[in-house]
């Protein structure tokens, strides 16, 4: 069975601070996909990144960066110089390689960025 743990239920930072959201996963599969999604107060789900288990390279996209470490089963997400608009619930998800549409989500981390 797959499991995703986002231990931080809520995080509050002041604008311009850096913040890291943790994600730890469990799977017996050797190949799989990992995802991060953002859910703003409006409620829709915004795709941020997909990473397959073959690729352990870190990725940077603007103020966002992701650190994938297979050895510790972690896929952490860092926002640099946070902004108020980053306030949202962030979900980490894991899916089977052969059925990537069936994802297991963590319970989310609520990030509040104060001005």
Partner 1 sequence: NAGVMQNPRHLVRRRGQEARLRCSPMKGHSHVYWYRQLPEEGLKFMVYLQKENIIDESGMPKERFSAEFPKEGPSILRIQQVVRGDSAAYFCASSPQGSSYEQYFGPGTRLTVT
Chain residues that interact with partner 1, rule: CB under 8 A: 4, 33, 37, 43-45, 47, 50, 52, 91, 93, 95, 99-108
CB of 4 to partner 1, least distance (A): 8
CB of 78 to partner 1, least distance (A): 20
Nearer to partner 1, 44 or 61 (CB): 44
- Partners of residue 25 on adjacent β-strands: 4
Nearer to partner 1, 17 or 54 (CB): 54
Number of CB atoms found within 10 A of residue 26's CB: 12
Q: Which residues contact 65 (CB under 8 A, 6 or more apart)?
A: 58, 59, 77, 78, 80
CB of 8 to partner 1, least distance (A): 13
Nearer to partner 1, 46 or 81 (CB): 46
Nearer to partner 1, 2 or 80 (CB): 2
Number of CB atoms found within 10 A of residue 82's CB: 22
- From 108, 107, 112, 66, select the one nearest 90 (Cα to Cα): 108
Please tell me the distance from the alpha carbon of residue 18 to that of residue 14, in angstroms, as a whole number.
9
CB of 79 to partner 1, least distance (A): 19
């Amino acid at each position: 069975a797959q499991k995703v743990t986002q231990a931080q239920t809520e995080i509050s930072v002041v604008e311009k601070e850096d913040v890291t959201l943790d994600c730890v996963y469990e799977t017996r599969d050797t190949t799989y996909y990992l995802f991060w999604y953002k859910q703003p107060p409006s409620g829709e789900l915004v795709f941020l990144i997909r990473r397959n288990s073959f690729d352990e390279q870190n990725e940077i996209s603007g103020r966002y960066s992701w650190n994938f470490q297979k050895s510790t089963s972690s896929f952490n997400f860092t926002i640099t110089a946070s902004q108020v608009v980053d306030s949202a619930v962030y979900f980490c998800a894991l899916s089977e390689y052969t059925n990537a549409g069936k994802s297991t989500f963590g319970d989310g981390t609520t990030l509040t960025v104060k001005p």
